[in-house]
Structure 1
């Protein structure tokens, strides 16, 4: 998995897990629930509807949801992997750092957890707790754009927001001797962010697939590196584009 996931989000999550002495697993749209050192074949799938590789748009028969796809991925093992992990580690906390589409992918399984298991679950990423089943809402840590305050030292994109929140949360509670309540953890997050300010965000137009390919060709022809090309696309051309999406387009041309 390490070779397949080379972006900033995975690097931050890997570093946070290593610093906490914890295992890191990937919520994969192609492979399911996979430990970071597992050997897997190359793949390129997503459950985000605004990406070219969305598996939810590939059905020629009945449409299906992200949660149905997640269940199908694990049907052969006959297990719910998140519940199984929590059951096998009764003193561990599961910190789930994911974007909204991936939270939706595992939402039904999370909603089936016992109350005791939910008490050991923390979700960092989606800022709208009300969009989740009521049972899960206390598990959502109250991160928001104040995480981008320059003094926090974790500025980034919306795509890597969950990984940056994970980094902050692990630094905040990683030294605790026991797992405190979700309410206590949420209070500590709010207190930590209380003196921070969200920076003003530039409103950028999301670039469509055709325009992205056109600009990637032009930037490559101009001799730009992938990193400088993405920066130019965002800052000079004024487009919004996730790092992974840009990287896929870059490698495809």
Structure 2
């Protein structure tokens, strides 16, 4: 693979993945005394301390780095790509992790495109292994296969209630849901069923309300560049800057459009 032969200096994965989403996930996992792994579109399933070369790939549609758009012959799915990443090692890393840790719970915090990437491997899990799987991030469980739906925790826009202190963007929704879920069940002595955990999430969110959606004004290219310069000058990170642009300044801007402007200024 090109990444394996890269001459770029390798760094720990936790240094490569920056931004609020990864920071939240890392803090949540550390608080539970657990291990953090990354579902990487370029490298597969990697532990946060693994040394990796810098890269830029994604399976999210409508993004410049989407690997699914780079086929010169036949199109392929994210699930096929995931299988190809691990074919040389002949491994199914998620199944292997659950096998070597028979008393552990595997919580996958990811957006739907990344869940779809590992969907075929998840389908190979035993029934007992699936009962130890939790998924936080997708807000529509019915968009996933039947066997995964009980594992999806019922998080929705109520997570943005100010009373929870977990407001953010769609980009970091899965990490915020993970933070809440770990705080909710992280101290348990034993793993409860997916249904029990779903009920606990539902009950916890029932005390909160989703904020009213604000109609935001879309920025033109000139105004966007002006705000990006100001936010960079203020020392904001890329992810925090986008959040401030939307939440504090009240503007509408797609994530990819904002990030592209950020990288070019």
The answer, yes or no, to whether TM exceeds 0.5 is yes
Question: Would you say how many aligned residue pairs link Structure 1 and Structure 2?
Answer: 248
Equivalent residue runs for 1:11-50 within 5 Å = 11-50=23-62
CA offsets 1:230-250 (integer angstroms, 9 cap, x no match): 3564354722333x7744642
> What is the TM-score normalised by the length of structure 1?
0.90
SS at match of 1:154: coil
> What is the TM-score normalised by the length of structure 2?
0.86
Equivalent residue runs for 1:1-253 within 5 Å = 1-204=13-216, 217-219=225-227, 224-225=233-234, 227=236, 230=242, 233-234=245-246, 236=249, 238-242=251-255, 246-247=258-259, 249-253=261-265
CA displacement at 1:219 relative to structure 2: 4.0
Please give the alpha-carbon distance, in whole angstroms, between the structure 2 residues aligned to 1:220 and 1:144: 29
CA offsets 1:41-87 (integer angstroms, 9 cap, x no match): 00011101121111111111111111111111111110111011101
CA offsets 1:3-23 (integer angstroms, 9 cap, x no match): 111110000000011000000
CA offsets 1:156-212 (integer angstroms, 9 cap, x no match): 0011010000000000001100000000000000110111000012245888xxx66
- Residue ranges of structure 1 left out of the alignment (5+ in a row): none
Please give the alpha-carbon distance, in whole angstroms, between the structure 2 residues aligned to 1:206 and 1:51: 19
Going from structure 1 to structure 2, the CA distance change for 1:165 and 1:229 (only over 3 Å counts) comes to closer
- Contact 1:142-1:190 at 8 Å conserved across structures: yes
Please give the alpha-carbon distance, in whole angstroms, between the structure 1 residues aligned to 2:46 and 2:133: 18
Name the stretch that deviates more: 174-183 or 198-207.
198-207
CA offsets 1:120-179 (integer angstroms, 9 cap, x no match): 000001011111111111000011111111101101001101000000000000110000
- Contact 1:226-1:250 at 8 Å conserved across structures: no
SS at match of 1:34: strand
Please give the alpha-carbon distance, in whole angstroms, between the structure 2 residues aligned to 1:39 and 1:91: 28
- Residue ranges of structure 2 left out of the alignment (5+ in a row): 1-12
